[in-house]
């Protein structure tokens, strides 16, 4: 624990020093610069969509049927030439494309980088095998075979593939499910075999000693059972790796590389940081020599239970392994810090402290017999030489049980690898093919699975070293594998005395970059509170619930946050900046003023079935009115007036009958009532004709393009000197002249025009489109003029298909918000004055919020 504390304190001091250096280099911020000499002066008509398309000759898209599209696609794919064949081969085997063009000036940098990375691979391979809960030699295999395949199939020039802490941890969890770490004891106790052992299976362990006594060879039995368990572990790991490779190749052929986009950066960073705690916990027991005393736990609370076990067994800690840990820990940290500090002076070639430390402790362990009493240091022990045999993993029948774990491993390993690949590709300015990277990673898992290897991924530390040491091409992978090949063929047994505590220190130190991701939280909080919550929730969930459940929780939280963002986008009523055509939020820009009688509703988000109700509520809340309630009141008032009119007409008939001064019989009364009803109906018809003639006379004259009078007749209704509201005739539903005279002052919404700013509607589905159409129809029924501004063609296509064209003509759809506002102000003035404003002797500078140019007159 002291070593962990020392590691954290040294990391904090290093980070604080680097922050101080960065702070000294921060330049003071400059104030925004205005350009008074540069101005914008635009004079053009106020365009609606129809006028803009007609004026500028929009070309309609050519609509092709599915059959035509399929035929065109098949025609392209059916063409065959040698160039096309070669391009297809190169796309699957990129080495054929870049290797013939290799430049010799890259060779020096590639050789230095290859040797540097190769030296680092040796101790890391053994250490990460220990993390994956398999023998160290399998880590060396996993650092050799996949690297050669990566050289052939990758499009990345700098990514270093091989063992990776998080992936090894997931392999460990999977292996532990099938091969529990139980203590192996002799089945021959007190002269009799245990009942759990089948007779005949242990006969080879009996032998006759010098006293002619039958003895059971406990040491050989335990050694064989241990070897069998190790073989079982790597078989389960290889079986899972084979399934991971198949999944990744299948995803590559199905072009599913985009699936990693669902793992946002906060999810991946929170996951890897939380997994780093599991990696650290799995190695702490080796630091104190308690690996045989601590059980292996999986699932929720595994970390807590592991530390409880560690603290209970601390009195039994191995002093020799604690000393090794205390020597290796600060030594590696200090040298790594010096490597970073003097990187330029060392020509980006770091001092291989891990390999040097492994050599030192190996010599100390060999000559000091540290694995024997009284030290009892836990060492690597057997490392065979030569290559493994090519064999099919044994437990393919367990794929059904492994599928969920393997799917997580395949997605996480590719997400991490692709992130690193993109970072260094952008840095050096070359393109990579994500699906080809997925295909290459799948092959690097599939084929080595037949050669006793386990799942791999890209490593941040090795990739950074490969790039900084001068690596330029994929040739680094081959050159780094040369050292690994030498170790596998000849030098492997020399590493048998390596203490596992030294390998554990290498793993823990390599976690430094993952733990330093906590530094990003402060900046993340200032940038996005939602992303901060996703990062922290994922990390905490992985720590306390486990790797698989924690990742599920992280993805779930990310989806919930995404839904909340979709559900609650920014929505405001815009105001116009005086003397401009700019519209902004009045709360942020106090100078922005709402146009009298015009409401501009801005909704900064897409519309779909998940947020249609939220959109409706946002509109009603922003406008502070509910058209459904107002329409109900209006209909109630209309019914009341209908009754009054009916009663009035009946009274007029009865009064006429009384004025005859004589009593009529039933036949005469019926004839008289029929004649009187005809006279009343004719009077009402004459009155409607007179009103129509007056309105036509007031609006006579030639109308310009985009005039508000197109497809619309605006009238002013008065009753007893009380001014009503301006309504479109298209939304006056009643045909009765008495009802048309209804005073709607009780139902005024406070505005005459509603403009939907659709500039931020990237898409809309049919469900949300019907909600928009419903709002349009209801507001129009109240006499409110509804306009749509800045909508894309796709959005308008969906709206029209959902019934908008039944309530709104396309001449009410405008190119910009400003065009819609110009139209709304002009239409209202014309309706109020009853005249045409195309020629205004006063000009337009006196109008409220005049935009600065005579767009209204054009």
More confident residue, 408 or 673: 408
Enter the tokens of residue 228: 């069998």
pLDDT digits (tens, 9 = 90+) for 8-47: 443 434 344 444 444 444 444 445 555 556 777 777 888 8
- What pLDDT is stored for residue 452 in this prediction? 92
Q: Which residue has the tokens 């040369």?
A: 482
Q: What percent of the chain has pLDDT over 70?
A: 79
Q: List, in order, residues 6 or more apart from 599 with CB less than 8 Å away.
A: 573, 622, 623, 751, 753, 754, 755
User: Over 90: is that where the pLDDT of 673 sits?
Assistant: no
Taking a C-beta distance cutoff of 8 angstroms, is the pair 457, 161 a contact? Answer: yes
- Mean pLDDT throughout 536-561? 89
pLDDT digits (tens, 9 = 90+) for 636-662: 877 888 887 777 666 655 544 444 444
Position 403 confidence tier, pLDDT thresholds 50, 70, 90: very high
C-alpha closest to that of 235 among 227, 126, 249: 227
Taking a C-beta distance cutoff of 8 angstroms, is the pair 125, 485 a contact? Answer: no
Instruction: Estimate the crossing angle of helix 529-545 against helix 547-567, to 10 degrees.
Output: 160
User: Over 90: is that where the pLDDT of 841 sits?
Assistant: no
Taking a C-beta distance cutoff of 8 angstroms, is the pair 171, 132 a contact? Answer: yes
Give, in order, the Cα–Cα distances in Å from 193 to each of 130, 183, 185, 199: 33, 17, 12, 8
Q: Rounded to an integer, what distance in angstroms lies between the CA atom of residue 598 and that of residue 603? A: 16
pLDDT digits (tens, 9 = 90+) for 341-396: 888 888 777 888 888 888 999 999 999 998 888 888 988 888 888 899 999 999 99
Taking a C-beta distance cutoff of 8 angstroms, is the pair 142, 167 a contact? Answer: no
**Cis-peptide, bond into residue 374, ω within 30° of zero:** yes
Q: Rounded to an integer, what distance in angstroms lies between the CA atom of residue 224 and that of residue 353? A: 36
Q: How is 169-197 classified by DSSP, letter by letter?
A: HHHHHHHHHHS--PPP--SEETTEE-TTS
User: Over 80: is that where the pLDDT of 544 sits?
Assistant: yes
* Entry pTM: 0.71
Position 454 confidence tier, pLDDT thresholds 50, 70, 90: very high
- What pLDDT is stored for residue 448 in this prediction? 95
Q: Which of helix, strand or coil describes residue 238?
A: helix
Taking a C-beta distance cutoff of 8 angstroms, is the pair 495, 136 a contact? Answer: yes
User: Over 60: is that where the pLDDT of 204 sits?
Assistant: yes
User: Over 50: is that where the pLDDT of 728 sits?
Assistant: no
Check residue 690 and report its DSSP letter: H
Q: Is 28 exposed, middle or buried (0-12, 13-18, 19+ CB in 10 A)?
A: exposed
User: Over 70: is that where the pLDDT of 769 sits?
Assistant: yes
Q: Rounded to an integer, what distance in angstroms lies between the CA atom of residue 855 and that of residue 777? A: 29
- What pLDDT is stored for residue 70 in this prediction? 78
pLDDT digits (tens, 9 = 90+) for 778-789: 998 888 899 999
Position 549 confidence tier, pLDDT thresholds 50, 70, 90: confident
Give, in order, the Cα–Cα distances in Å from 693 to each of 689, 698, 700, 715, 856: 6, 9, 10, 12, 28
Q: List, in order, residues 6 or more apart from 408 with CB less than 8 Å away.
A: 170, 547, 548, 551
Q: Rounded to an integer, what distance in angstroms lies between the CA atom of residue 127 and that of residue 143? A: 12
CB-hemisphere CA count at 13 Å for 600? Answer: 29
- Mean pLDDT throughout 582-588? 91
Cβ atoms within 10 Å of 522's Cβ, excluding its own: 10
- Mean pLDDT throughout 594-623? 90
Position 462 confidence tier, pLDDT thresholds 50, 70, 90: confident
């Amino acid at each position: 624990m002291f070593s962990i504390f020392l590691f954290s304190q040294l990391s904090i001091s290093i980070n604080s020093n680097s922050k101080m250096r960065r702070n000294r280099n921060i330049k003071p911020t400059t104030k925004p610069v205005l350009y008074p000499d540069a101005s914008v002066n635009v004079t053009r008509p106020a365009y609606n969509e129809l006028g803009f398309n007609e004026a500028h000759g929009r070309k309609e898209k050519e609509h092709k049927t599915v059959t035509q599209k399929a035929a065109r696609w098949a025609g392209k794919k059916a063409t065959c030439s040698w160039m096309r064949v070669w391009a297809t081969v190169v796309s699957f085997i990129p080495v054929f494309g870049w290797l013939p063009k290799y430049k010799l000036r890259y060779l020096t940098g590639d050789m230095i980088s290859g040797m540097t990375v190769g030296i680092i691979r040796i101790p890391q391979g053994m250490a990460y095998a220990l993390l994956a809960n398999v023998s160290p030699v399998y880590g060396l295999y996993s650092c050799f075979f996949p690297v050669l395949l990566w050289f052939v199939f990758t499009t990345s020039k700098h990514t270093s593939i091989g063992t990776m802490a998080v992936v090894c941890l997931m392999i460990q969890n999977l292996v532990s499910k099938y091969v529990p770490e139980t203590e192996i004891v002799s089945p021959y106790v007190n002269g009799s075999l245990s009942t759990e052992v089948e007779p005949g299976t242990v006969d080879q362990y009996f032998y006759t000693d010098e006293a002619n006594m039958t003895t059971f060879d406990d040491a050989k039995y335990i050694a064989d059972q241990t070897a069998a368990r190790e073989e079982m572990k790597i078989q389960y790991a290889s079986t899972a790796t084979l399934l991971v490779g198949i999944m990744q190749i299948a995803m590559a052929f199905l072009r599913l590389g985009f699936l990693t986009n669902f793992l946002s950066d906060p999810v991946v960073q929170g996951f890897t940081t939380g997994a780093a705690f599991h990696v650290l916990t799995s190695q702490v027991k080796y630091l104190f020599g308690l690996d045989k005393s601590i059980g292996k736990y999986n699932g929720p609370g595994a970390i807590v239970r592991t530390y409880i076990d560690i603290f209970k067994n601390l009195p039994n800690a191995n002093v020799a392994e604690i000393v090794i840990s205390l020597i290796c820990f600060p030594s590696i940290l200090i040298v790594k810090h010096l490597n970073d500090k003097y990187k330029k002076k060392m020509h980006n070639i770091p001092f291989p402290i891990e390999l040097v430390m492994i050599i030192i402790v190996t010599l100390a362990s060999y000559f000091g017999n540290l694995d024997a009493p009284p030290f009892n240091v836990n060492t690597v022990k057997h490392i065979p030489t030569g290559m493994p045999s090519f064999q099919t993993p044994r437990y393919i029948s367990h794929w059904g049980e492994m599928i969920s774990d393997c799917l997580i491993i395949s997605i996480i390993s590719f997400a991490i690898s692709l992130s690193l690949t993109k970072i260094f590709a952008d840095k050096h300015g070359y393109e990579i093919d994500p699906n080809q990277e997925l295909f290459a990673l799948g092959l690097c898992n599939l084929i080595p699975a037949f050669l006793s290897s386990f799942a791999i991924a890209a490593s941040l530390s090795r990739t950074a070293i490969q790039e900084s040491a001068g690596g330029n091409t994929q040739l680094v992978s081959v050159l780094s594998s040369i050292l690994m090949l030498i170790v596998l063929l000849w030098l492997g047994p020399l590493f048998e005395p390596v203490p596992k505590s030294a390998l554990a220190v290498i793993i823990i130190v390599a976690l430094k970059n993952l733990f330093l991701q906590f530094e990003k939280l402060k900046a993340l909080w200032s940038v996005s509170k939602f992303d901060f919550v996703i990062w922290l929730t994922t990390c905490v969930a992985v720590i306390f619930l486990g790797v698989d459940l924690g990742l599920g929780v992280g993805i779930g939280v990310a989806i919930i946050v995404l839904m909340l963002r979709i559900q609650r986008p920014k929505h405001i009523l815009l105001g116009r900046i005086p003397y401009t055509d700019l519209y902004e939020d009045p709360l942020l820009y106090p100078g922005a003023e709402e146009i009298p009688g015009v409401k501009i509703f801005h909704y900064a988000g897409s519309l779909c079935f998940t947020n249609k109700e939220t959109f409706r509520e946002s509109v009603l809340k922003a406008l502070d009115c509910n058209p459904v309630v107002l329409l109900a009141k209006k209909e109630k008032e209309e019914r009341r007036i209908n009754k009054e009119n009916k009663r009035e007409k009946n009274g007029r008939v009865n009064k006429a009958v009384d004025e005859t001064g004589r009593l009529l019989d039933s036949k005469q009364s019926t004839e008289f009532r029929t004649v009187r009803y005809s006279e009343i109906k004719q009077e009402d018809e004459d009155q409607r004709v007179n009103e129509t003639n007056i309105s036509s006379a007031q609006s006579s004259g030639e109308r310009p393009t985009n005039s508000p009078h197109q497809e619309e007749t605006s009238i002013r209704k008065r009753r007893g000197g009380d001014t009503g509201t301006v309504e479109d005739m298209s939304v006056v539903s009643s045909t009765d002249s008495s009802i048309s005279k209804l005073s709607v002052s009780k139902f005024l919404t406070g505005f005459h025009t509603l403009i939907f700013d659709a500039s931020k509607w990237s898409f809309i589905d049919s469900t949300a489109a019907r909600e928009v159409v419903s709002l349009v129809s209801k507001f129009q029924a109240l006499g409110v003029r509804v306009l749509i501004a800045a909508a894309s063609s796709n959005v308008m296509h969906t709206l029209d298909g959902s019934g908008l064209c039944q309530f709104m003509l396309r001449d009410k759809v405008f190119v910009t918000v400003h065009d819609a506002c110009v139209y709304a102000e002009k239409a209202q003035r014309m309706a109020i004055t009853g005249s045409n404003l195309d020629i205004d002797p006063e000009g337009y500078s006196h109008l409220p919020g005049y935009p600065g140019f005579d767009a209204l007159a054009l």
